[in-house]
A and B are shown apart, each in its own frame.
Chain A
Amino acid sequence: MKMPDKDIPAILAALVIAVIPYWVRLPIWITLWCLFFWGYAFQTTCRNRQMPKPWLRQTLIPLGLLGVLFSYDWALAGDTFVGMLAIMVSLKPLEIRTYRDKMITVFLSYAVILTHLLFDNSFFTALHMLVSVCITTAVLIHINHTIAGVSANLKLSARIMIQAFPLTIALFILFPRIQGHFWGVFNPAAERTGFSERLSPGDISSLAQDNAIAFRVDFHGDIPAPDHLYWRGIVFWYFTGQSWERGNRAPTRQAYFPGTETVQYTISLEPHHKRWWFALDLPEFAPRQVRLLDDFTLTSWRRVTVRTVYTLRSHRTYHTGPLRYWEAAALELPPQGNPRARALAQDWRRQNREPEAIVANALSFLKENGFSYTLRPTPLEGDSIDDFLFRTRNGYCEHFASAFAFLMRAAQIPARIVGGYLGGERNPFGNYLIVRQSDAHAWVEVWLPKTGWTRIDPTSVIAPARVQQGSAAALPPAERPIYLSSQYLAALYRYWKPVQFAWDRANIGWNLLVIGYSRSQQRELLTSGDLMGAPIKRILIGLLILSAAIAMGVWVFFRGLRKSGPLQTDRVQRAYEVFCQKLARTIRPRRPAQGPIDYARQVAGQRADLAERVAEITGLYVRLRYGRGGNERDEKRLQTLVKGFKPDKIYRTNHPN
């Protein structure tokens, strides 16, 4: 009769722990599928049944893979691969028979851990990674060394991990970083929301529900007032009648006349898989790898696929100079459509010569005609601008910006729409702003002779709270998120908020220290200790760090060895070892080749008072060890006897011989 394979439950445990973070990412059926087959493998092992025949597995794998493809609409995106990996990993335990299968499965478990890191780099993920690696490694040890117990394997795994840590850190610091990719990036998180090249109704309202973080900002100095926090990302120039488009922009060649007020800040941008970077007002310079465009927005050469940290200085006051000929695009409108809006704008134009007055007219028109801010606007029909301005009169920033820019252009004032974020939440634990997707906003810039391109936010007229307190506060009560509308939940939310902030702070530290570590930082680190100016110094410092790390690793290693106690063998062996140690201390150690019975006889010869106890312990040991097994009672008895055995004490004997 074959014994049930005790390794399989351990391997299953490692897989379950490695796959946990997937469960929020994958469709529920894959999770259930994994649990079902792992449960099945576990049951089969425990009951010592035969694993299913290979053909079953060979049919299930294509079935599962087809299921994954179907769930993701046949798209080969990052999540699809994760789903496929999950299917493979779910069925692998069903074929575990040999040592080879076990080793491969453990390696698969490491691959699963790595795959998750491509999606999420948070501090929590890192913690999970450490725990998961520790457990998987313990299973690896278990496969190669089947006798030791679970806790001994885990301890050893953790110890090796700690010993490996200095070398890991040294490698991490010193390993050359390459900017760029060897091959294409499949955008594991491409599904993330963000701005697109086109602004059409509905885009931002879907963002407003998304609490994900867009970027974080650390100000070098005080955080400006909320109504100054307009994060410009993308400028829309062309109106097609239905939507606004960005068009191709050229790098800046434009002179501008900066004022004295500047603000410096560092942004850590979450990957949004587009090219634009966000900045306040007018950035003074573009960071490396990034262009400053003629509308003062920033685009990078590559899509932002990893968290990117950059520092900028922006002018808060400036004059952008005269209107360039290519900026006449800011006056273009489709030849037809929206006659009422055009008529209204031309009316304003006839009344006023000054563009500032026309802007004021338009703003007061919005203010006084019962417009309201909502994320669930009435659908627009026909000429969308007319329909919004004269019929529905409810909408969100996009509607207001779109209508306002149209009116301005109809009144011969150059206008463009800017997409970006407004505001941000200050983290009291870290004095930085968290800007979320729900802070997405659109506003208008008009060109005025006195100030150049000037920001006008029509939404602020209708819903001033949007500027001061964010989008949630500006909404009518029925549309607010549930945690703000309910009294009870709002109180709970107030307690939850600091926890969230503290957690974000920990993440930021983690990001700056580990995730954001780049080639430039590496160079900075390796050259900062460079006092002599000679390049050889840098190499020396690097080598010093490495050798120190290795020396530390070796030291920890040997210290760990010295401290290692008796091996976790079976209980009988351990009890007898303790017994021998006790005797070795007081009477005499056992010779390496001496058998237990002989040893007992010798000890008894020296100490007659101990003879009886020694004989009983030795007898029990011999029976348990060399006899036909033994029962649990004998084992318990041996343990208690050894525990109470005190050879340093003289016993009174009943048999005086």
Chain B
Amino acid sequence: MQAYTIRGKGIRFRPTGYGVLFGVVVAAMTLGSVNYNNNLGLLLAFLLGAMAMASLLYTYKNITGLQILSMAARPVFAGETAVYELQVCAEALPNRSILFSFKQSEETCQDMITRLPRRLSLRIPADQRGWHNPGALRVETRYPFGLFRSIMDISLNIHCLVYPKPISDSFSTAQNYALSGSEGGKELSGMDDFKGLQPYLPGEPVEHIYWKAFSRGQGLQIKQFVEPAGTVIVFDWNSIKSADVEHKLSRLCDAVLKAHRFNLFYGLNLPGKSIPPDVGNTHRRNCLKALALFQTSVSPDIS
């Protein structure tokens, strides 16, 4: 989590296209009024010009004091949309009509902010595995007239981990895997051994929820399966016959996901990195992270 408060420094002002048009209109009004010696027309032109100037002060004041708290983005698979969550709150003043966007993306999020903290989600498509960096956050306001905008670019140093895109291929056959363990070569059938019901804990695979019990009003329970005793699978980089690194990673990713879903005891073997067999959410995360960051140079310091 990173917090940032907008102060006056660094805010840039730009007239919008309408601001330019408005300027032309006011200039024409001034010229016309001078031509006709019409003081009232001149007064109107000056009033409009001065109001536009006053509105510039408002656009400045509108984003100063804004506190932006960025949340860690949940990891996504390549090709999905990274969702960056921001929590925004005004320090003392009500700020209004503020546009949040990442400079690189078209996706914007407009919000009216009160003193209450608000949560915003900014979505950017993440196409490449690895660390996704959305770039600077652009905070922009055209309030109140839409004639000027004040822009503040904030580098929040936030990132989203992008796993490889899972590609399911014909590697479900055993010979594609280098299986090792006490009883090597055992098939993945052990998962069908039903053991009993246990209360559901958040994070457990949804597929295992015993919906019949839930519909009877007995609460969420999951079907516990017998862990395939002694079955250990290690997904090995070298066992996949493909020249394309990304394709290999994608297939390994798919394998990890499936193994996790079936609650298997699995490990990962990559060139330069090997993860010993284990089970559970943390293990899954570690494996996927290793796949995501495989041979990537960029490694931002993330706490």
Interface residues of A (CB under 8 A from B): 103, 107, 110-111, 113-114, 117-118, 121, 125-126, 129, 133, 137, 140-141, 143-145, 147-148, 156, 160-161, 163-165, 167-168, 171-172, 175, 177-178, 181-183, 185, 188, 305-306, 514-518, 553-554, 557, 561, 564, 566-567, 569, 573, 576-577, 580, 592-593
Contacts and interface: CB of A to CB of B under 8 A. Distances in A.
Given A114-B32, A118-B32, A118-B41, 5 more contacts: A103-B21, A118-B36, A145-B112, A163-B54, A517-B39
28 contacts: A103-B18, A107-B25, A114-B32, A117-B33, A117-B38, A118-B32, A118-B36, A121-B39, A125-B40, A129-B44, A137-B51, A144-B146, A145-B96, A161-B47, A164-B51, A164-B53, A164-B54, A165-B50, A168-B43, A172-B39, A172-B43, A175-B42, A175-B46, A306-B37, A514-B43, A553-B50, A564-B93, A580-B116
B114 A573 contact: yes
B144 A156 contact: yes
Interface in B22-77: 22, 25, 29-51, 53-55, 57-58, 61, 67, 69
Contacts of B172: none
Interface in B154-176: none
Contacts of B132: none
Q: Choose among B21, B47, B50, B146 the residue with the greatest number of A CB atoms under 10 Å from its CB.
A: B50
A147 B112 contact: yes
B36 A160 contact: no
A488 to B, nearest CB: 38
B112 A141 contact: no
A577 B142 contact: no
B57 to A, nearest CB: 6
Given A144-B143, A160-B144, A133 B44 contact: yes
B46 A171 contact: yes
Nearest to A181: B35
A171 B50 contact: yes
A566 B142 contact: no
Contacts of B39: 121, 172, 514-517
A161 B69 CA distance: 35
Q: Choose among A144, A172, A306, A554 the residue with the greatest number of B CB atoms under 10 Å from its CB.
A: A144
Contacts of A164: 47, 50-51, 53-54
B115 interface: yes
B53 A576 contact: no
A514 B40 contact: yes
A257 B29 CA distance: 50
B53 A593 contact: no
Contacts of A566: 94, 114-115
A167 B25 contact: no
A280 B90 CA distance: 70
Contacts of B54: 160, 163-164, 167, 553, 557
Nearest to A308: B37
Nearest to B89: A592
A117 B37 contact: no
B206 to A, nearest CB: 23
Interface residues of B, number: 51
A129 B94 CA distance: 31
Contact of A515 (B25, B40, B45, B97): B40
A306 B38 contact: yes
Contact of B34 (A113, A178, A514): A178
Contacts of A177: 34
B124 to A, nearest CB: 23
Contact of B67 (A111, A553, A592): A592
Interface in B92-121: 93-94, 96-97, 112, 114-117
B192 to A, nearest CB: 40
A554 B54 CA distance: 9
A149 B193 CA distance: 64
A155 to B, nearest CB: 12
Contacts of A183: 35
B117 A593 contact: yes
Which 7 residue pairs across A and B have the least CB separation, nearest first? Answer: A164-B50, A567-B94, A144-B146, A167-B50, A171-B46, A164-B51, A306-B37
B48 A129 contact: no
Contacts of B281: none
Contacts of A126: 40, 43
Nearest to A159: B54
A164 B52 CA distance: 8
A518 B21 CA distance: 29
B87 interface: yes
B116 A133 contact: no
A618 B292 CA distance: 42
B114 A569 contact: yes
Contacts of B214: none
B145 interface: yes
Contacts of A160: 51, 54-55, 58, 144
Contacts of A140: 144-146
B31 A182 contact: yes
Contacts of A114: 29, 32-33, 41, 44-45
